[in-house]
Structures are given as structure tokens and as C-alpha cells.
């Protein structure tokens, strides 16, 4: 129980002080929250380091399975974010834990991906068959484990497909279709997995976000009592938070925009919204309903009239008007109103 936080099943929550003071663990997404490619997100480095200095335990939870925890930590250190291997939870680690629910030590696993996938699966006691091994599928793997790596090519996918066709258990580190890079969005592991799925007709099992598995593994490992999920993707980071029952903070520096938040399904809705990681040091107050169906946040207001979202005309578009818009639209949708998506603008935060 967290006495400093009020959340609801449908809408935005409140805090009695800065979020960094209200939680004992932050489960922080990497790409789009802490960094973009090899560059830090604006305001990420200083605010994450300050939160740690103030006593908030950080674990970076990523659907990227290409790198080992040590490699991820080294990348974060390079951009000034303090981290070590114990501060990292990758989808490869969750994938290895999943394999352990059905396979026995020593069983062979055909691995598509980078060092992170191979190391995690070896450390869990399985025998790795790299996908670039000649005729890898002919070596009778019990499972195929797929994770993103920039070196994955057609022949890797072909060996995975051959093994899956022959009955190997198909497991994916995550199903993210895209991966944010400094140049834009590139195909993610979900796109690679989709090729094997299209070829075989077999749907993979995945413990990557939005599965709550990684969050729950970290909470058990750390013994945290008041975890907060921080992410930029509604359908993975925040969906996983809802699935785990943990409060979630959406940061709009990555994939999901403010408009996406207003349109979010109930199972993807964040408890808190911030323009960037300065939101960790803000007190968040839930919007309040006023006269004539206006929802008010920080002096800005929004309502749904008929099936149209209306915004007040005062001041710049920003996080307060976004919070008010979320409250107005979510309450209307939950009451059965089909709000016209054309009435919802982009929000400049």
C-alpha cells in the first residue's frame, strides 16, 4: 500500500508529493525514455541520477534482448546514467525464465539474436544452438528463442522456421513491431518474429512487455513494496503495468504521443503523464470534474460535448490540457460515448 498515491481503475491518479519520493522502485524503460539510440533523451540523465541519489532504486526493464546486462549498463554509463548489471532486466532474461517452465537443464535451444539472448539462455542451464550454425534446425532443438539483433538475416529466420515447423516450442523475447533509433523507427523483434509466424502459422509465446513477467521478476528480486513503471509505449510498458497492477507513468519522449494517451484503451491507460523525466519530481494531481462536464487540471479544462472533445482556449497546449483531455475522454468512453477521434488534436508538450 502506498499512502502517498491515489490511483483508479480508469483514470489518472494523484500524488501527495513528487513521484520520486512516493515509490521505492522505478521500473524504467530504456529506448524512448532514457535514451534514443546512443543518445540520452533530454532531461533523462540528470533526473534519473538525481532520483537514485535521493534513494529511489532504479531497474531498467527493456524488451531489447540483443545485449547482456553488462553491455546495457556500459551503454548507460557512456551517456552519463549511473547503472550496473544489477540495474538491468532484459527480455532475454525473462525469455530464459519462461523456457525453464517447460524445458530441462541441458535441453537444446536454437537461438536467434545477440549476446544477450545467448548468455541468458546459457546461464539458465540450456544448450545453445546459434541460428547461424549450418543446418541448425537439424540438430533437434526443443525450442526456438528469438530476440532482436541487427545481425539477424534471412538464413537465421529460415532455420527458426524449419525448427518450429518440426515441433520446436516457439518463444520470443518480445513482440515489439518497431524499434526507435536516431533516424526513426526501424523493424523490431515483432517484425522478425512475424516472418517466422507467417511462414509456419505458429504463434510464439512471449514474456516481454506487455506481459508483466519482467516487472514481477524485478519486484521479487528486489523485495520492493511500492514499484512505479515508467515507459513511452502504451501497448507494452503501460499495458504491462496495468497487467501487473503497478502504477504507470507515461513519458511522451518516445513512441506514444499525448493524442495516443487520450485514445488509449482502458488496459493501456497510464496513472500519470509527463512530458519528460522531469515528471519524476512533480506532484501529480488528478483532474477534477467541474460544472458542465468540464474536467480541470492545473487551470486548463477539457470536456466531451456530444461526441466531440472540446478544449478551453487559455494558454499553450501542454501537459495540463493533456491530462484534462484524458479525463474528459476516458470518462465519456467509459460511459458508452464513442468520441470522434477526429476531434482529438496532437498535443505539443
**Grid coordinates given for 345:** 488534436
Q: How far apart are CA 147 and CA 322, in angstroms?
A: 35
SS (H, E, C) 79-111: CCCCCCHHHEEEHHHHHHHHHCCCCCCCCEEEE
- The question of whether 24 is a catalytic residue gets the answer no
**Set 21, 24, 29, 271: catalytic member:** 29
Angle 69-78/115-123 helices, nearest 10 degrees?
A: 140
- The question of whether 38 is a catalytic residue gets the answer no
Q: How far apart are CA 56 and CA 164, in angstroms?
A: 43
Side-chain-side CA neighbours of residue 186 (13 Å): 11
Look-up of cell digits 516450442: 169
Q: How far apart are CA 81 and CA 196, in angstroms?
A: 36
Cβ-contact 203, 150 below 8 angstroms: no
Alpha carbon 137 to its chain centroid, in Å, reads 32
**Set 24, 31, 38, 292: catalytic member:** 31
Q: Which of 1, 48, 45, 47 is nearest to 22 (CA)?
A: 1
Provide the 3-class DSSP secondary structure of residue 35: strand
Could you list the active site residues? 29, 31
Amino acid at each position: 500500500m502506498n499512502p502517498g498515491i491515489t490511483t483508479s481503475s480508469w483514470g489518472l491518479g494523484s500524488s501527495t508529493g513528487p513521484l520520486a519520493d512516493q515509490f521505492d522502485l522505478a521500473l524504467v524503460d530504456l529506448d524512448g525514455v532514457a535514451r534514443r539510440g546512443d543518445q540520452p533523451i533530454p532531461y533523462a540523465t540528470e533526473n534519473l541520477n538525481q532520483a537514485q541519489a535521493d534513494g529511489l532504486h532504479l531497474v531498467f526493464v527493456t524488451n531489447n534482448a540483443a545485449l547482456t546486462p553488462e553491455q546495457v549498463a556500459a551503454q548507460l554509463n557512456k551517456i552519463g546514467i549511473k547503472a550496473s548489471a544489477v540495474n538491468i532486466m532484459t527480455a532475454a532474461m525473462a525469455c530464459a525464465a519462461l523456457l525453464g517452465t517447460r524445458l530441462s537443464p541441458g535441453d537444446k535451444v536454437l537461438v536467434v539474436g545477440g549476446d544477450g539472448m545467448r548468455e541468458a539462455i546459457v546461464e539458465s542451464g540450456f544448450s545453445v544452438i546459434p541460428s547461424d550454425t549450418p543446418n541448425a534446425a537439424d540438430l533437434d532443438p526443443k525450442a526456438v528463442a528469438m530476440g532482436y539483433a541487427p545481425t539477424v538475416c534471412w538464413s537465421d529466420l529460415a532455420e527458426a522456421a524449419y525448427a518450429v515447423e518440426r515441433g520446436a516450442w516457439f518463444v520470443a523475447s518480445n513482440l515489439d513491431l518497431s524499434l526507435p533509433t536516431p533516424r526513426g523507427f526501424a523493424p523490431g523483434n515483432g517484425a522478425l518474429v512475424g516472418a517466422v509466424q507467417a511462414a509456419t502459422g505458429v504463434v510464439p509465446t512471449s514474456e516481454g512487455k506487455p506481459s508483466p513477467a519482467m516487472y514481477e521478476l524485478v519486484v521479487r528480486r528486489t523485495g520492493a513494496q511500492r514499484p512505479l513503471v515508467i515507459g513511452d509505449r502504451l501497448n507494452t510498458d503501460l499495458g504491462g503495468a496495468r497487467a501487473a497492477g503497478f502504477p504507470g507513468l507515461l513519458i511522451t519522449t518516445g513512441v506514444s504521443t499525448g493524442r495516443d494517451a487520450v485514445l488509449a484503451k482502458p488496459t493501456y491507460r497510464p496513472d500519470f503523464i509527463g512530458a519528460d523525466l522531469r515528471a519524476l519530481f512533480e506532484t501529480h494531481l488528478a483532474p477534477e470534474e467541474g460544472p458542465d462536464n468540464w474536467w480541470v487540471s492545473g487551470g486548463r479544462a477539457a470536456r466531451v460535448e456530444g461526441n466531440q472533445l472540446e478544449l478551453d482556449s487559455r494558454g499553450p497546449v501542454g501537459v495540463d490540457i493533456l491530462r484534462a483531455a484524458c479525463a474528459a475522454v476516458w470518462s465519456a468512453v467509459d460511459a458508452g460515448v464513442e468520441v470522434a477521434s477526429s476531434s482529438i488534436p496532437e498535443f505539443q508538450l
